[in-house]
Structure 1
Amino acid sequence: MKNRRWIFLFTVFAILLTTLAFADSKTEDLNKMFYEARRDRDASKIQSVIKDIESTPNFDKDSRLLTILADAYLEYGLWGVSDKEKEKTYEKARSYAEMALKIDPRNGRASYIAGASIGRLAQYKGILQSLFMLGDFDRYIDSAIKLLDEKDEEQRLYKTFAYIASGMRYRDVPWPLYNYKKSEELLNNALKLTPNYSNIYLELGLLYVKTGDKAKAKEMFEKVISMPPHPWLVKTHEEAVKTAQEELKKLK
């Protein structure tokens, strides 16, 4: 009788382990698919990620799945939907990221996505309301910078994104007063983490345009044009090159 009980318990345990392993494998496959969709700006692939996760039972109880879903909505909002759909798409990104953080408050990637979504949403609000949103933006982005581990390849990239977002905030938002020195410091922190990401040089170039340093701005824009793309962000690089070329024309 005891042997049967042990066999039964062992069987249940083995099934549980197999189920968990399958779930982890599926999650990683979805994460990989998201990265591919972002790299290539593949609308059908990113839609598949969203559909697969939202049709997964109890996905709203899984911080990792919620994070990937939030990231997919944030990215899709940037280039995959019409202008009238953007605000609603960013709202979903923020909502799912905050749900992920309620489950796992130390989820640095979700903190970044929540902050970045708020930054995008602020564009659709009035001046006063967008200024009130700065506190949430700062809280999430600062938390992401603290939580993300630069020794991990994925987390290092998201920490880079967080530094860029914070650098742009100090460069472009008039309240508190523009802080170009702080912006440069934050963007250079991003550069130390991921020197092969062209968007950092682009944002530095735009900063130097604001400070009136045309020589440095030109150097940054030329760097964007001449460098190869980050392997995970190919289409993002192509867009950065176009912007850098346009900015160079203005400097002549």
Structure 2
Amino acid sequence: MRKLLVFLLLLTAAGVWANPAELIDEGEYRAAYQEALAMGGAEGYALAAQAASYYAGFKATTDREKEEWYGKAEEAAKKAIELDPDYPDGYFELARAQGRLAQYRGILASLGLASSVRDNLNKVLELKPDADEAMVALAIWNLELAQKGVGWMYGASIGRVVPLFEKAISLNPTSIAHRLEYGNALIRLKKPAEARVQLEKALELPAKTYADRMNQEKARKLLEELR
């Protein structure tokens, strides 16, 4: 019995039972992706999709690598939805991956992805009305399509951008990512003074994860460009 206990402790110490969510927080996205796939289930595949998207966004160095990892995220998110059609994280991760993939695929494919992103984010909010991340993503979706001049084709509106950001931040005021994205959106809306407030707040908040630290670097660069 004692030998078995020692063996189990060694396995744990070796990271065999590593927690994918903790690995994501630490920025170990490749390891998190593999552990989450091994975990299985809707939650595991949604975590795998998140890890893949984060790797693409924070660590991939070429467009080809970014597209590859967003593709992995898309595949994992679809699996999560297949396993549990009522799991909101699956729809959010699919929307996140497809929103990024639209940057790398042809115009016709991108137009189809725009509708899918909208529908998946609306599904998240249907299943989880206080999903602040989905609100931020939907705000960015409205901004992107409206500024590209195709918002009318999808029901996107500039007028929805600020209210969605404000609602998301009221629900989660300590999110560095929300402040960064809002600040960037306000720059694009020609509101530099308001953008500065959000970006400065992003730098004031405590960075608890690798992604937080990377997002603060982005906020710092945007602030420098505003000066």
Normalised by the length of structure 2, the TM-score is: 0.79
Distance 1:130 1:31, change over 3 A: farther
Alignment deviations for residues 134-160 of structure 1 (CA, whole Å, 9 cap, x no partner): 11111111111221364xxxxxxxx22
Alignment deviations for residues 24-73 of structure 1 (CA, whole Å, 9 cap, x no partner): xx9xx99972222222212xxx43343345457xx4xx323322222222
The whole-number CA distance in structure 1 between the counterparts of 2:32 and 2:181 is 30
Aligned to 2:80: 100
Aligned to 1:41: 27
Flag the structure with larger Rg: 1
Residue number among 199, 202, 215 corresponding to 1:240 in the alignment: 215
Give structure 1 stretches of 5+ with no counterpart.
Answer: 1-25, 151-158
**Is the CA contact 2:37–2:44 (under 8 Å) kept in the aligned structure 1?**
no
Aligned to 2:50: 71
Residue number among 115, 127, 142 corresponding to 2:95 in the alignment: 115
Aligned to 1:133: 113
**Is the CA contact 1:109–1:148 (under 8 Å) kept in the aligned structure 2?**
no
The whole-number CA distance in structure 2 between the counterparts of 1:136 and 1:90 is 15
The whole-number CA distance in structure 2 between the counterparts of 1:192 and 1:182 is 16
SS of aligned partner of 1:165:
helix
Residue number among 141, 159, 162 corresponding to 1:181 in the alignment: 159
1:142-161 counterparts in 2 under 5 A?
142-148=122-128, 150=130, 159-161=131-133
SS of aligned partner of 1:124:
coil
Aligned residue pairs total 207
The whole-number CA distance in structure 2 between the counterparts of 1:237 and 1:36 is 14
RMSD over equivalenced CA pairs, Å: 2.6
Distance 1:74 1:39, change over 3 A: same
**Is the CA contact 2:20–2:35 (under 8 Å) kept in the aligned structure 1?**
no
**Is the CA contact 1:101–1:107 (under 8 Å) kept in the aligned structure 2?**
yes
Residue number among 226, 229, 232 corresponding to 2:204 in the alignment: 226
Distance 1:30 1:87, change over 3 A: farther
**Is the CA contact 1:180–1:207 (under 8 Å) kept in the aligned structure 2?**
no
Aligned to 1:14: none
Residue number among 116, 131, 144 corresponding to 1:172 in the alignment: 144
Alignment deviations for residues 184-208 of structure 1 (CA, whole Å, 9 cap, x no partner): 1111121022100122122222222
Aligned to 1:91: 71
One-letter amino acid of the counterpart of residue 123, structure 1: Q
**Is the CA contact 2:96–2:137 (under 8 Å) kept in the aligned structure 1?**
yes
**Is the CA contact 1:90–1:121 (under 8 Å) kept in the aligned structure 2?**
yes
Determine if the alignment matches structure 1 residue 208 to structure 2 residue 156: no
Normalised by the length of structure 1, the TM-score is: 0.72
The whole-number CA distance in structure 2 between the counterparts of 1:179 and 1:224 is 26
**Is the CA contact 2:81–2:90 (under 8 Å) kept in the aligned structure 1?**
yes
The whole-number CA distance in structure 1 between the counterparts of 2:186 and 2:17 is 36
The whole-number CA distance in structure 1 between the counterparts of 2:111 and 2:100 is 13
1:114 Cα deviation after fit: 0.7
The whole-number CA distance in structure 1 between the counterparts of 2:16 and 2:167 is 30
